[in-house]
Structure 1
Amino acid sequence: MKGRLAVGALQLIGKLPLSWSRRLGRFVGRVAVWTRSEGLRLSRINLAQCYPAMDPRQREKLARASVVNTAINGFEMANIWHHSWDTNKKTIVNVRNEKLLFQGKEDGRGTLVLMPHTGNWEIFGMYLAAMGPSMALYQPPKIEALDPVIRGGREKTNATMVPTNIHGVRSLLKYLKAGHVTMVLPDQEPDMGGDFAPFFGRPALTMTLAHNLIQRTNCHVVFGFGKRVEGGFELVFVPAEKAIYSDEQKVSLAAMNRGVEACIAQAPEQYQWEYKRFRKQPEGKSKIYRKKK
């Protein structure tokens, strides 16, 4: 029953114009702020960690804006999954630094696109797949009935979804070596392989997958995200630092996190600040998300 209700809600929201989806998302987000949701609490903690010098009033404003944008993003996703690429591509009002995507192809190499949780990553992933064959890791949702909705939406163009396990990683390796595009979300705590690296000056457990893929394939690396703008989306590509190609893992991971920071800086209110990015800490460090009694 829960699954059927969730699917029905997604289908209903998906049929709405993008502008209406955003209005509904904005309303839900404001309710979350008004009720002091868990997402708002976590956003405040993360922003205090990442922007300690920011004026507290400005930081609070940013936390609230982030909660609203996260809600909008959820409604946008239902809209994007429901519609065809011919419809979705009309919502892309601009693509910035697109040439960065094609540098790998020009050199005969595969391209690893690192997509932080900023703005809307669904429209960005669909765009990449429309440009040519692409592959991304995929973890099925906890509600099983949602799987065909999400997977079907993501595979409408040329995207191939592979599981988040060793078999999926092997598929990514083969795809990159063949000169294709792969997508990885670099700003989540890893299930497979991780090491601590600075993120806004704080130690954060960071995935080593991207570093391993780079070392084993000599691929081209670029960052990107789908920025929410008036009337649709602006897709933004951001160059990776040379240090991301370093043989030294810690050097590469630090450069990757700086690339994520560079993306966030362009739309900080659209980053998913409620994610527990600092949940795991080096031994001896206190837990920052524990609720105060």
Structure 2
Amino acid sequence: MKVVLVCSYRLPRMIVTGLSRFFAYAGYWLNSKNSQTVLTNLKLCFPALEKRERRTLARQVVAESALMYGEVVDAWMGSKQEIESKIFEINGQNILEECRQAEKPIIVAVPHIGNWEYFWHWLQLNYTAISMYSPAKFDLLDEVMFKARTKFGGKPFATDPKGIMGLLRALKKGGIMMILPDQAPREGAGVYTPFFGYPAYTMTLLHKFIGKTGAQLLFGSCIRLKDGKGFSINIEKADFPFEKREIDPFNLAMNQQIEKIIERNPEQYQWSYKRFKRQSNGITPYQ
């Protein structure tokens, strides 16, 4: 696995992107499991769209996702200079700086849109960045991932109780925490909350972190620019009152803000993720 990543990193980007596009489109036209998941998610989240419109959006999703492999390879293997050269715009950094002046913990919720690996790199290059970390299934891949996510000073914490306690301490000491709020949590760690109008098992952890630390909540995204050559880092305030709020209204408002972020660039969202796989009736919408 590591050899494949190194070879991909050293190959001309045009070749890597071309191969990624070939396999991505082949999977779409052959109706792969991945493309079925994309189409199912689009049908659940955009029921007002006609079938033809969903197909058009699905092809756009495939085109964007085909860029991900090469981008992630560059993110994991690239130097500081290479990473910084890909970040063309930074919008809302003043919001983050204002929060730092308040001397309260800060949590940035970053949905699976664009390329969140570059948002993490930007954060760890500029701040004391902390996050949660689940090891990859393969040891060699995990080694590469962990090295990438710590090489610019960032500190990931394990998702076990010891790691959670360490993360809370680091947050209270001034670390800026990045969290992926639209990831389906393990059983017992979430509640059902509408996401684009469909029930989604949504994490309670973010709500608990804010309750325990009094952290300020921001939202972030790293959006791929139209020419495919770089990214735009975006930071915005939570558009809802999040302090001392009960879990159900908190999660509903959080999901609604994530929806707004997605609606700006729906083709860049990770629709291949089975966000609705766990349902209260035990019936999955996926084949």
SS of equivalent to 2:184: coil
Q: Check whether the contact 1:109–1:176 (CA below 8 A) recurs between aligned residues.
A: no
Q: Check whether the contact 1:25–1:68 (CA below 8 A) recurs between aligned residues.
A: no
CA RMSD of aligned residues (A): 1.7
- How many angstroms does 1:33 deviate by? 1.4
Correspondence for 1:271: 269
Q: Check whether the contact 2:128–2:174 (CA below 8 A) recurs between aligned residues.
A: no
Partner Cα separation in structure 1 for residue 170 and residue 109 of structure 2: 15
Partner Cα separation in structure 2 for residue 125 and residue 142 of structure 1: 21
- How many angstroms does 1:213 deviate by? 0.5
Q: Check whether the contact 1:103–1:220 (CA below 8 A) recurs between aligned residues.
A: no
SS of equivalent to 1:244: coil
Partner Cα separation in structure 1 for residue 270 and residue 175 of structure 2: 28
Alignment pair present for 1:85 and 2:80: yes
SS of equivalent to 2:114: coil
Q: Check whether the contact 1:25–1:72 (CA below 8 A) recurs between aligned residues.
A: yes
Map 1:104-115 to 2 at 5 A: 104-115=99-110
Correspondence for 1:57: 52
Correspondence for 1:35: 30
Render the CA deviation track for 1:79-113: whole Å, top value 9, x for unaligned.
11111112110111111122222232111011101
Q: 1:122 to 1:221 in 2, by over 3 A?
A: same
SS of equivalent to 2:242: helix
Larger CA deviation: 23-32 vs 178-187 = 23-32
Unaligned runs of 5+ in 1: 1-5
Correspondence for 2:139: 144
Aligned length: 284
Correspondence for 1:217: 213
Correspondence for 1:207: 203
SS of equivalent to 1:276: coil
SS of equivalent to 2:241: helix
Amino acid at match of 2:43: A
Larger CA deviation: 142-151 vs 205-214 = 142-151
SS of equivalent to 1:214: helix
Correspondence for 1:241: 239
Amino acid at match of 1:271: Y
Partner Cα separation in structure 1 for residue 12 and residue 166 of structure 2: 36
- How many angstroms does 1:116 deviate by? 0.8
SS of equivalent to 1:245: coil
- How many angstroms does 1:212 deviate by? 0.4
Larger CA deviation: 10-19 vs 158-167 = 10-19
Q: Check whether the contact 1:114–1:184 (CA below 8 A) recurs between aligned residues.
A: yes
Identity %: 33
**TM-score (normalised: structure 2):** 0.93
Partner Cα separation in structure 1 for residue 175 and residue 285 of structure 2: 40
Map 1:1-293 to 2 at 5 A: 6-16=1-11, 18=13, 20-191=15-186, 193-229=189-225, 230=227, 231-283=229-281, 286-289=283-286, 291=287
Unaligned runs of 5+ in 2: none
Q: 1:94 to 1:282 in 2, by over 3 A?
A: same
Partner Cα separation in structure 1 for residue 2 and residue 133 of structure 2: 19
Partner Cα separation in structure 1 for residue 173 and residue 107 of structure 2: 12
SS of equivalent to 1:243: coil
